[in-house]
Amino acid sequence: MIQSDWLQVFKKKKIVVLGDVMLDEYLIGHVNRISPEAPVPIVSLEKEDLRLGGAANVALNLKSLGIETYICSIIGDDKDGESLLQLCKNQGIYSSGLQLVKNRKTTKKTRVLGNNQQLLRIDSEQINPINAEEEQFILKYLKELFNNEIDALIFEDYDKGCLTPFLIKEVIQLCKKYNVITTVDPKKNHFFNFQGVDLFKPNLKELKEGLNMDFNVIDNKEFNHAVEELRLKLEHKITLITLSEQGIYINNGVKHFIVPAHLRNIADVSGAGDTVISVATLCLLAGLSMENIAEVANLAGGLVCEKSGVVSIVLEELINELEEKNISISY
């Protein structure tokens, strides 16, 4: 069976996710009429759902694949922060690296859904950078954690203030000292702070914004030039670029190619990037080939897009998909 050996490697790994955690709230109901007060739909509320989002959803993806998972971030000492801690506890994610601070608000995205359509999103957040004391809490926590033989660290940046240039630099140096693999899901503000990481995974929009370039055709002269610029500036090992419906591009400085996306019934693309960085990191740890890293991450990202809202990958579904597509694993 396809999953026999390399998937067993997953269960022996320990990974910490560092970055912006958030709470995803869903208010779900039906719309039968328009409000007489304003031209807006009235949602008859039927269900309220809280889920882990941002870096916490990356941690949930890892846990769903059988990984010993740790989460590290700064959150508010508020009701939403307590909800985040409880959700992590419920999922078996180690959350002692989440520091609650009184002068900070926990990021929460509230989505209102009516008749299976998203009608509104409300963001409650505080995005100023964390202070020096909070940076030192994270560094102290990671140093203690790395003595427990951590295999990889995922930087999950949503530009919400947890990752600062100083912290990023210090953590990368710490990872190199302890031989911890580093992978990155970036955003624009700190795009070029992740010098020398093992895997860097922007999407196409982030690549264009980070380099301040624009191009329409994938894998042509302009696109290849953008990738070269990125690799020169960051000096990282593997570039993994998600291309939405066009698939995934991968480049290790020696060879590069695109793995096409599979035809799917897309319900929601929210959280697909979280799944891709989780699975790509695991494939890298398992020693899979370049082709397999891209193929397996591509399949996993596509699978979660078939479900509504931010969801994590299901191991059995990934295994079935790999077997259905007859993807052979190589090292």
Cβ contact 272:301 at 8 Å: yes
pTM for this predicted structure: 0.93
CATH of the domain at 299: 3.40.1190.20
Q: Does residue 33 lie within any of the structural domains?
A: no
Q: Does residue 222 lie within any of the structural domains?
A: yes
Q: Does residue 37 lie within any of the structural domains?
A: no
Q: Does residue 204 lie within any of the structural domains?
A: yes
HEC-encoded secondary structure of 208-247: HHHHCCCCCCCCCHHHHHHHHHHHHHHCCCEEEEECHHHC
Q: How many CA atoms lie within 13 A of 280 on its CB side?
A: 33
Q: What pLDDT does residue 96 have? A: 97
Q: What pLDDT does residue 312 have? A: 74
Q: What pLDDT does residue 318 have? A: 81
Q: What pLDDT does residue 267 have? A: 52
Per-residue confidence of the chain (331 residues) as pLDDT tens digits?
344 567 777 778 999 999 999 999 999 999 999 999 999 999 999 999 999 999 999 999 999 888 999 999 999 999 999 999 999 999 999 999 999 999 999 999 999 999 989 999 999 999 999 999 999 999 999 999 999 889 999 999 999 999 999 999 999 999 999 999 999 999 999 999 999 999 999 999 999 999 998 887 676 888 999 999 999 999 999 999 998 888 899 999 999 999 987 765 555 556 688 989 999 999 999 899 999 999 999 888 878 766 666 677 777 788 777 888 777 777 6
Cβ contact 77:100 at 8 Å: yes
Q: Does residue 114 lie within any of the structural domains?
A: no
Q: Does residue 111 lie within any of the structural domains?
A: no
Q: How many domains does the chain have?
A: 1
Active site residues: 274
Q: Which domain holds residue 263?
A: 6-22+52-105+127-324
Q: Does residue 61 lie within any of the structural domains?
A: yes
Q: What pLDDT does residue 270 have? A: 64
Q: Does residue 47 lie within any of the structural domains?
A: no
Long-range contacts of 223-231 (CB under 8 A, 24+ apart): 227/251, 227/256, 230/200, 230/202
Angle between helices 290-305 and 315-324 (to 10 degrees): 120
